[in-house]
A and B are shown apart, each in its own frame.
Chain A
Amino acid sequence: MQITPLGDNALVLEVGTVIDESTHRRVQAAWRALAAAPLPAVSELVPAYTTVTLFYDPWAAVQAGAPAQGIADWLGAQVRERLKNPPKMEKTKPRVVEIPVCYGGAFGPDLARVAAQAKLSPEEVIKRHAKADYLVYLIGFAPGFPYLGGLPKELHTPRHAKPRMTVPPGSVGIGGEQTGIYPLATPGGWNLIGRTPLRIFRPEQTPPVLLAAGDHVKFKSITATEFAELQATQ
């Protein structure tokens, strides 16, 4: 495992070099092992595809006993020690989160574009998009925005050359090889194929977002009536 400084208050732990499920499992294992008990002076751990980044306060590290001339090495040694002897943790099955989506129509103005690109009927696109099993590799870009792996190849669709000024929250889109859900109204260049009534970002709750890295996602096709009913309960 490589440990690289990212400025004077963060270290990047690199546990792999490619995006795949085995790297993802190693990222998750390292993240959980480090998060299980606080490391001195560490304020935050952020997992990504191949890395876990650890943010620390050099001043607090020295107060906690780090030598002023070797703060990063002191911290790195503790990280390696922790990862060599990870705390015993219960094996938990990955969470599967079902996300209801009303596909097409006003909610999915680009469904026809995706269908034309895939040379499939819109119904078949919906079927295949909803049938696949997606893995949340990481959350980033916007609050609760999941970077999902597992979009079937035939549904890969290039982004719009000109992004939309505003994409409504809950929009489900396809951008290149990726599919995802927009948590907030933001500009966006993805092909919108539907919308979920679920709130992806809900700052008043703990945790404040619906999905976490390591979750599995299944989309479920719903009608406009079901969308309205579900939205009323959110």
Chain B
Amino acid sequence: MRIRKPGLLTTVQDLGRPGYQQYGIVVGGALDSFAARAVNLCVGNDDNAALLEIAQIGPDLTFEQDTLIAWGGADFDARVGGQPLPRDRAVRVAAGEVVSFGLARGGLRAWLAIAGGIDVPLVMGSRTTYRRAGIGGHEGRPLVAGDALKLFEPTPWAKQILAALTSGQKRAVTWTVRPETMGKPARPGVVRALRGPECDWFAKEAQRAFFAAEWTATKEADRMGVRLSGPELPLLKPQEMISSSVNSGVVQVPPSGQPIVLLPSRQSVGGYPRLAAVVSADLGRFTQMRPGDTVRFEETTLASAHDIFLARERDLARVRMGLARLAG
């Protein structure tokens, strides 16, 4: 795969680098891990295969051989050979054809999986780009024009799908894998969240306000987190937290009183009170928010958060079994 134009921030990601937080090393990985797993599934890859994460302005790229790809996430003006590039499904791209992602028309980030997965070295068990440390991914950095990335051999399943598309002179398969429909999706504009360990540190009105108010995403947003603006969230009394672990989805509140929702490239520990934690299934929402977008938090219990988590996994497992039967 060759990068003709890099886009704004195109990086190699997998499901992250767990196991190293004790050393202060961030987990990172595709910001919406479920979206990444869905596109990997479409091209017969393992969940953890390395793929591209694309942000806001997408890359232009070509392949040396006929290839099976799949993309999903934000609404990009993605094209192949000038024609719209179908999303959420396996698509055939011929050698030399230009795949271009253009601009995100809605949302911010998308994920592009290529059959076989991207062949970059494992660093601490992961292929995720760890930009701040300059390691992982492709040379530890976002992609630039001219980069050439090797790919692993596609699975026999992917080869069969590609062969079938080629012989039928078809661009894409007819089935789709749409992660946003799986499990028990939240209502539009709402994310579900659990109370965090320091929820009780906040004034009762602040706790109520957090779960009642409409929150607006600010410009302060990156792979580490999204800062929201809304009502102030004062503590009951001034209290310093002893630094402890954080997690993706944790809503921490610095002294400014404006919450930050942490995303996978967060640090391993934090020193701000943890008011709430967004459920895994709804975290992807924050990877797509643009400044000015709004969201409400709906309180849920751990039992129902697990119910939501398991429902989505069950649906993905079902799709995996269904797709496996397509070839063979």
Report yes or no: A46 in contact with B242, Cβ–Cβ below 8 A: no
Contact of A44 among B19, B196, B250 (CB under 8 A): B19
> What is the bound-complex CA distance between A18 and B241, given in angstroms?
10
Q: Which of A18, A19, A53, A183 has the most CB of B within 10 A?
A: A53
A179 close to chain B: CB less than 8 A: no
Q: Please, which residues of chain B bring their CB within 8 A of the CB of A53?
A: 244-245, 247
B156 close to chain A: CB less than 8 A: no
Report yes or no: A10 in contact with B243, Cβ–Cβ below 8 A: no
Nearest-CB residue, chain A, relative to B268: A140
> What is the bound-complex CA distance between A93 and B194, given in angstroms?
41
Interface stretch (choices B5-13, B173-181, B223-231, B303-311): B303-311
Contact of B242 among A49, A139, A184, A207 (CB under 8 A): A49
Distance in Å: Cβ of A204 to nearest Cβ of chain B: 8
Q: Please, which residues of chain A bring their CB within 8 A of the CB of B22?
A: 44-47, 139, 212-213
B274 close to chain A: CB less than 8 A: yes
Within 8 A of A (CB), among B268-326: 268-269, 274, 277-280, 302-303, 305-310, 313
With A7-B277, A140-B267, A141-B267 already in contact, the answer to whether A48 and B24 are too (CB < 8 A) is no
- Could you tell me how many residues of chain B have their Cβ less than 8 Å away from some Cβ of chain A? 42
Within 8 A of B (CB), among A34-60: 43-51, 53, 55, 58-59
Report yes or no: B197 in contact with A6, Cβ–Cβ below 8 A: yes
Distance in Å: Cβ of A89 to nearest Cβ of chain B: 17
Q: Please, which residues of chain A bring their CB within 8 A of the CB of B137?
A: none
With A8-B302, A59-B310, A139-B23 already in contact, the answer to whether A44 and B244 are too (CB < 8 A) is no
With A71-B306, A144-B24, A209-B23 already in contact, the answer to whether A7 and B279 are too (CB < 8 A) is yes
Q: Please, which residues of chain B bring their CB within 8 A of the CB of A10?
A: 245, 247
Contact of A46 among B133, B248, B268, B310 (CB under 8 A): B268
> What is the bound-complex CA distance between A69 and B301, given in angstroms?
11
Q: Please, which residues of chain B bring their CB within 8 A of the CB of A142?
A: 24, 132, 267
Report yes or no: A143 in contact with B133, Cβ–Cβ below 8 A: yes
Report yes or no: B242 in contact with A7, Cβ–Cβ below 8 A: no
Report yes or no: A143 in contact with B25, Cβ–Cβ below 8 A: yes
> What is the bound-complex CA distance between A18 and B240, given in angstroms?
11
Q: Looking at chain A, what size class is its interface with the partner chain?
A: 35 or more
A126 close to chain B: CB less than 8 A: no
Q: Please, which residues of chain B bring their CB within 8 A of the CB of A58?
A: 306, 309-310
Distance in Å: Cβ of B225 to nearest Cβ of chain A: 14
Scoring B residues 14 to 26 as 1 if CB is less than 8 Å from chain A, else 0, what string do you get?
Answer: 0000111111110
Distance in Å: Cβ of B106 to nearest Cβ of chain A: 27
> What is the bound-complex CA distance between A186 and B267, given in angstroms?
14
> What is the bound-complex CA distance between A144 and B302, given in angstroms?
33
> What is the bound-complex CA distance between A87 and B305, given in angstroms?
33
Distance in Å: Cβ of A39 to nearest Cβ of chain B: 14
B73 close to chain A: CB less than 8 A: no
A151 close to chain B: CB less than 8 A: no
With A44-B21, A140-B269, A143-B133 already in contact, the answer to whether A12 and B244 are too (CB < 8 A) is yes
Nearest-CB residue, chain A, relative to B195: A5
Report yes or no: B243 in contact with A140, Cβ–Cβ below 8 A: yes
With A46-B21, A59-B313 already in contact, the answer to whether A7 and B194 are too (CB < 8 A) is yes
Report yes or no: B313 in contact with A8, Cβ–Cβ below 8 A: no
> What is the bound-complex CA distance between A17 and B198, given in angstroms?
13
A121 close to chain B: CB less than 8 A: no
Scoring A residues 47 to 85 as 1 if CB is less than 8 Å from chain B, else 0, what string do you get?
Answer: 111110101001100100000111110000000000000
Q: Which of B133, B242, B250, B279 has the most CB of A within 10 A?
A: B242
Scoring B residues 152 to 195 as 1 if CB is less than 8 Å from chain A, else 0, what string do you get?
Answer: 00000000000000000000000000000000000000000010
With A8-B302, A140-B268 already in contact, the answer to whether A68 and B307 are too (CB < 8 A) is yes
Distance in Å: Cβ of B110 to nearest Cβ of chain A: 24
Report yes or no: A184 in contact with B132, Cβ–Cβ below 8 A: yes
Report yes or no: A46 in contact with B194, Cβ–Cβ below 8 A: no
> What is the bound-complex CA distance between A141 and B19, given in angstroms?
16
Q: Please, which residues of chain B bring their CB within 8 A of the CB of A107?
A: none
Nearest-CB residue, chain B, relative to A18: B242
> What is the bound-complex CA distance between A71 and B268, given in angstroms?
24
> What is the bound-complex CA distance between A144 and B133, given in angstroms?
11
12 sample A-B contacts, Cβ–Cβ < 8 Å, listed by A number: A8-B280, A8-B305, A44-B18, A48-B269, A53-B245, A59-B309, A62-B310, A139-B22, A140-B267, A186-B132, A203-B123, A203-B124
Contact surface of A with B, Cβ cutoff 8 Å: 4-10, 12, 17-19, 43-51, 53, 55, 58-59, 62, 68-72, 138-145, 147, 183-184, 186, 201, 203, 207-209, 212-213
Top 4 closest A-B pairs, CB basis?
A53-B245, A7-B277, A140-B269, A8-B305
**4 new A-B contacts at CB < 8 Å, known A51-B244, A58-B306, A143-B24:** A6-B196, A62-B310, A142-B267, A209-B25
